[in-house]
Structures are given as C-alpha cells and as structure tokens.
C-alpha cells in the first residue's frame, strides 16, 4: 500500500489541506516593490486567490508511512504598497499573477484508495518543506 497516489492528491479533501497549508505562508511573504515611491521598498500580500488546482509533479515514497510531493499552483496576489503621497503616506493595491512552487512532506498510516474518506485524508500530516513564489 502507498501513502499517497495521484488519485488521493486529486481529491478535494487533499487539495483543501494543501491550500490551507500554503495560504498562511503566502500571506506572510513580502516582495521587493517595483514602485519607486515605495516607503520601505516592500509589497505586502493582502489577498491570495488560487487560480488553478495544485499540479503535483512528483510523488516520492520513502516508506509506507512517509512520502514527499513536489508541485506548483498558479496564484493571484493582491499586493499593498506604502507610498509617499503629497501630504502623507498612502497604501496602493496591485495585482500580480505568480507561480507558487512547493515541496511537502506527508506522513500518516498507509491506506488503500477505496477506503479513503475525506476525514482520513485530512488526518494526513502535511509539512511544508520548501516554498517559492515567482
């Protein structure tokens, strides 16, 4: 038995777990601002919209209870930039389309696909190992 299969990673329950893992990390990311009037030369993420379902490029099984997935997902970010205004600083929003790449370690008891329920999939332990946005 395998811990993860493509069928499991395509399930709505697994996608929800993965997006819940990625969302806070993306929200906490700051980007170098391209706006020359930026106060601190950084843009902050105020909203994340996932544009696609996660693409799982590779699943590596380490044993019956551990696996690793490498994948990506297209995201739309709303970025906030603090700029120097005429009389005071103001915040200006901007939209940026990006690709989020990730490596996630997954642990749990091995299961067969037929006996998997949403609750059992949500019980898998996901740890974000690597993460980048471009």
What's the pLDDT at 113?
62
Q: 124 — phi, psi (to 5°)?
A: -65, 145
Q: Where are the alpha helices (DSSP H) in the chain?
A: 6-9, 12-27, 118-122
pTM: 0.85
- Cα separation of 47 and 38, whole Å? 19
Residue 83 confidence (pLDDT) above 70: yes
Beta pairing class for 89-107 and 38-50: unpaired
The mean pLDDT value for 98-125 works out to 82
* Contact predicate 66/106, CB 8 Å: yes
Residue 110 confidence (pLDDT) above 60: no
């Amino acid at each position: 038995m395998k811990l993860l299969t493509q069928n499991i990673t395509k399930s709505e329950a697994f996608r929800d777990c993965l997006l819940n893992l990625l969302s806070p990390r993306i929200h906490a990311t700051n980007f170098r601002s391209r706006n020359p009037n930026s106060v601190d030369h950084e843009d902050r993420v105020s909203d994340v919209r996932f544009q696609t379902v996660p693409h799982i490029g590779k699943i590596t099984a380490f044993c019956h209870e551990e696996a690793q997935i490498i994948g990506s997902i297209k995201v739309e970010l709303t970025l906030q930039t603090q700029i120097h205004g005429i009389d005071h600083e103001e915040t200006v929003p901007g939209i940026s389309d990006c690709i989020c790449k990730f490596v996630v370690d997954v642990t749990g008891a091995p299961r067969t696909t037929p006996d998997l329920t949403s609750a059992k999939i949500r019980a898998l332990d996901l740890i974000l190992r690597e993460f980048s946005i471009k």
